[in-house]
């Protein structure tokens, strides 16, 4: 049976590329995307953009939604500088375009003579996801990369660092339903959503009943009992 690598995606803010509603409204998806997770692994491997290993396309991701996100709005202002406009005009002419077409290179919706644009972006606030990563014959590479990443890992944007713990270790597929969630109420179990990303965007999520604990300390104790195999690192001094 192929083992899986488990990671936890949690932090104050997350951003997973969603549909662009308009030029000045960029919306996050509600869960991590396959593309974003492949990029996260590629960065951990040290692979630069355009140089990702082909086997990343065969990696399967299952996302468990441990804490549903709150949508957070952010408003940014962007202004075009005159010297930037002239530079892009010259670049367009060198590429065989008309200078009048230069504005098509970077659309910034604005009105009238205003040079300042307000851009609205949405982020996920206080979300927590458990991700099971499965790739036959490549478990070792993924585990090593995520345990000691070559490039910093982040939650969709470089400013959004993951909370500890991020890397959980290696275990069998059934652990996805055995790792507990931290208390929403006094019940011993909770119902969480499971998203099978390899099935495509239109595939509906399922629901699973998982153990629930009262605190993060109890969560760590439960995780230890599940005996996930964790890679030894120099930072741990082991």
Q: Distance (Å, rounded) from C-alpha 170 to C-alpha 223? A: 12
Token pair 């206080």 is at which residue? 126
For tokens 């590429």, name the residue: 95
Element (H, E) at 44: helix 34-45
DSSP helix/strand/coil, 94: helix
Give the pLDDT of residue 190.
94
- Predicted pLDDT at 27: 75
Terminal-to-terminal C-alpha distance of the chain:
28
Coarse DSSP helix, strand, coil percentages of the chain, rounded to the nearest 5 percent: 25, 35, 40
In whole angstroms, what is the distance from residue 8 CA to residue 28 CA? Answer: 19
User: pLDDT for 86-139, tens place per residue?
Assistant: 666 666 666 666 555 545 555 455 445 556 777 778 889 999 999 999 999 999
Domain ranges of the chain: 4-71+124-226, 81-114
Among candidate residues 43, 36, 45, the one with its CA nearest the CA of residue 15: 36
Q: Which residues on adjacent β-strands are paired with residue 125?
A: 13, 70
How far is residue 84 from each of residues 67, 102, 113, 131, measured CA to CA in Å? 43, 11, 17, 42
CA distance 99 to 231: 56
* Two structure tokens written together for 6: 């488990």
Q: For position 234, what pLDDT does the model report?
A: 35
Q: CA angle, corner 42, sides to 228 and 51, nearest 5?
A: 150
Provide the 10 A C-beta neighbour count for residue 139. Answer: 16
Which runs of consecutive H residues, i.e. helices, occur in 55-124?
A: 82-94
Contact status, residue 90 vs residue 54, Cβ threshold 8 Å: no
Asked whether the beta carbons of 213 and 180 are under 8 A apart, the reply is: yes
Query: What pLDDT is recorded for position 233?
Result: 43
Hey, what CATH class is 4-71+124-226 in?
alpha beta
The whole-number pLDDT of residue 180 equals 97
Beta-ladder partners of 61: 133
pLDDT beneath 70, residues of the chain: 1, 18-25, 76, 78-115, 232-238
Question: How confident is the model at residue 86, as a pLDDT?
Answer: 63
Q: What pLDDT, on the 0 to 100 scale, is given for residue 107? A: 46
Side-by-side strand order, sheet with 206-213: 167-171, 4-10, 128-134, 60-67, 189-196, 206-213, 181-182
Rounded to whole angstroms, the Cα distance separating 122 from 26 reads 7
């Amino acid at each position: 049976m192929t083992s899986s690598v488990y990671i936890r995606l949690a932090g104050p803010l997350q951003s997973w590329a969603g549909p662009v509603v308009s030029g000045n409204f960029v919306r996050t998806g509600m869960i991590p995307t396959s593309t974003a997770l492949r990029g996260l692994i590629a960065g951990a491997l040290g692979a630069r953009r355009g140089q990702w290993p082909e086997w990343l396309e065969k990696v399967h991701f299952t996302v468990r939604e441990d804490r549903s996100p709150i949508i957070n709005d952010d408003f940014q202002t962007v202004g075009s500088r005159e010297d930037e406009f002239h530079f892009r005009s010259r670049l367009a002419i060198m590429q065989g375009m008309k200078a009048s077409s230069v504005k098509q290179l970077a659309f910034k919706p604005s009105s009238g003579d205003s040079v300042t644009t307000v851009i609205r972006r949405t982020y996920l606030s206080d979300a927590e996801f458990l991700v099971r990563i499965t790739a036959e014959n490549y478990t070792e590479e993924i585990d090593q990369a995520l345990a000691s990443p070559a490039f910093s890992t982040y939650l969709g944007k470089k400013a959004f660092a993951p909370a500890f713990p991020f890397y959980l270790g290696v275990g069998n597929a059934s652990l996805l339903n055995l790792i507990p969630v931290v208390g929403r109420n006094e019940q011993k179990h909770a119902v969480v959503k499971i998203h099978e990303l390899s099935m495509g965007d239109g595939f509906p999520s399922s629901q699973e009943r998982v153990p629930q604990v009262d605190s993060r300390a109890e969560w760590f104790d439960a995780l230890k009992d599940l005996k996930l195999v964790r890679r030894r690192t120099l930072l741990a001094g082991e």
